[in-house]
Amino acid sequence: MPQKLRVGILFGGRSAEHEVSLQSARNVIEAIDREKYEIILLSINKEGQWQLGDLSKFLLYVDNPRLIALNSSNENLAFYPGQREVNLISIPNNKSIGAIDVIFPVLHGPFGEDGTVQGFLKLAGIPFVGSSVLGSAIGMDKDVMKRLLRDAGIPVGDFMVVYAHESNDLDYNQLQRQFGVPFFIKPANLGSSVGVHKVHDTNEFRSALDDAFLFDNKVLIEEYIEGREIECAVLGNESPLASVPGEVLSTHEFYSYEAKYIDENGAALDIPAKLSEETVRRVKTISIAAFKAICCEGMARVDCFLKNNGTVVVNELNTIPGFTSISMYPKLWKATGIPYKDLIDRLIDLAIERHAKEKKLRTTYESIK
């Protein structure tokens, strides 16, 4: 019987999306094939400490998304690069956890989805699922993302960027003339609709701006696009594939954090979306083009608007999309013909494949004679 791959599931983190990560990790752990993989739980608490999790009791209040929390462990972890593979050490007893073959980061938002953890794992020399440093960093920063998409000829909505030190100079009437009403305010580097507000008047404007700046020093102001919310999942490295598109039918004013993760009736997901064959083709084509434009690898969920005139506008990409029981990414692939367990297999294979190619690259210079 072949030896099982040791897969580290990395979750939690210091982001405002910490609780979403816990829900996602729980579902990945439940779905992964235990016949093929040995699971090592690597949790990060809100203070940034890495800990070794116990499969039988790593979460508290698992059935309540408002209260779900890490079950704190006394086993803090340290990484050290070995001669062949990366090893883990449990602190303070200095016990070796052994080598890990691949890490599956199920982290959302800053300090996990933004290239920081990816850079650490790359330095440590361990394969990891999802985009590498560049794609992760671009995918997290909606400002840079939208500029790259725009330069690649991919339609995006009208937007502007405001830094914290400029916020007092903003004039609501000028923004109203530029974007119309309502418009959106959101942190540039966050996801799951945390800190996102739909602004209808001057009273909402200042409070929305203040809230967004609690999460980031850079904030986006975006036009409101009237249209259907269409999402498409992308999977692959050099030759990515697109899933069937799905549609989000939110019962809230927009697809907020509450609608995504708290309210069981916050949204309905229509998978596959009721679209013409031509529209499905355009959504898939644009999704793959967007995936490539921002240097994604492994996986991403591409969120679009389908305007009434048929135009497909890309809103954003998520390089570590939600893996909760109600998340779009695994549901879209299931509808396309790749069930959850097989999807995890493919993502792990893609991580190992990329790592193997990178290991063949030269790290020293030798002149060609």
Residues contacting residue 136 through CB under 8 Å, at least 6 positions apart: 113, 114, 115, 118, 130, 319, 320
- The domains of the chain are located at 5-129, 139-155+226-338, 159-223
Q: Please give the Cα distance from 13 to 76 (Å, whole number).
A: 14
Q: Please give the Cα distance from 98 to 320 (Å, whole number).
A: 26
C-alpha closest to that of 328 among 263, 272, 251, 274: 272
Beta bridge partners of 85: none
- pLDDT on residue 71: 87
Beta bridge partners of 86: 81
CATH of domain 139-155+226-338: 3.30.470.20
8-state DSSP, 34: T
C-alpha closest to that of 273 among 304, 234, 318: 304
8-state DSSP, 172: H
C-alpha closest to that of 67 among 13, 132, 19, 137: 19
- pLDDT on residue 194: 77
Q: Please give the Cα distance from 358 to 154 (Å, whole number).
A: 29
CATH domain 5-129 topology: Rossmann fold (3.40.50)
Gyration radius from the chain CA atoms? 21
Per-residue pLDDT of the chain (369 residues; tens, 9 = 90+): 568 999 999 999 998 889 989 999 999 999 999 999 999 999 999 999 999 888 888 888 888 888 899 888 778 888 776 555 556 778 777 778 888 899 999 999 889 999 999 999 998 889 999 999 999 999 999 999 999 999 999 999 999 999 999 988 899 999 999 999 999 999 998 765 778 999 999 999 999 999 999 989 999 999 999 999 999 999 999 999 999 999 999 775 655 456 554 556 667 899 999 999 999 999 999 999 999 999 999 999 999 999 999 999 999 999 999 888 778 999 999 999 999 999 999 999 999 999 999 989 887 777 655
C-alpha pair distances (Å), 114 with each of 131, 191, 276, 300, 348: 10, 11, 35, 13, 20
Superfamily of chain region 159-223:
ATP-grasp fold, A domain (3.30.1490.20)
Task: Confirm if 329 and 339 have CB atoms less than 8 A apart.
Answer: no
DSSP 277-336: HHHHHHHHHHHHHHHHHTT--EEEEEEEEEETTS-EEEEEEESS---STT-HHHHHHHHH
The values of phi and psi at residue 32, to 5°, are -65, 145
Q: Using N-to-C axis directions, what is the helix angle for 202-212 and 172-179, rounded to 10°?
A: 90
Residues contacting residue 106 through CB under 8 Å, at least 6 positions apart: 9, 10, 11, 21, 24, 25, 28, 320, 323
- pLDDT on residue 34: 94
Q: Please give the Cα distance from 146 to 156 (Å, whole number).
A: 7
Q: How far, rounded to the nearest angstrom, does the alpha carbon of residue 368 sit from its chain's CA centroid?
A: 42
Long-range contacts of 82-91 (CB under 8 A, 24+ apart): 85/125, 85/126, 86/124, 86/125, 86/126, 88/8, 88/40, 88/42, 88/52, 90/52
First CA to last CA across the chain, in angstroms? 47
Task: Confirm if 318 and 139 have CB atoms less than 8 A apart.
Answer: yes
